Amino acid sequence: MLYMSNRMYQVLKSRSDKKVHCKWIFTDKSGKNPRMHSIIAIRRAIQNAGIEDFRVHGFRHTCASRLVHHGMTLQETAHIISFYNI
């Protein structure tokens, strides 16, 4: 089980209730395709925070580690990572 704050839940629920496409929560303006530019904002935030020697791909490893740590099997984790293209 993964926990989230009430605020995070409300944001995700609101996006889910309004979404057009069944797979993506964060989409482009049409609502039909995944939002592709978010990586730019993430890289900018990492740079602004003064974090050096970090690659966005590291989030993939962190996500997988946390899923396994919280009880998911390696097969379930692999499916989630590949399905959501994390």
Q: Compute, in degrees rounded to 10, the torsion defined by CA atoms 48, 52, 2, 71.
A: 170
What pTM does this model have? 0.48
Q: Phi and psi (nearest 5°) for 27?
A: -120, 170
Give residue-wise pLDDT tens across range 11-68.
888 877 777 766 777 777 777 777 776 677 888 888 899 988 888 788 888 999 999 9
In tens, the pLDDT along 32-48 reads 777 776 677 888 888 89
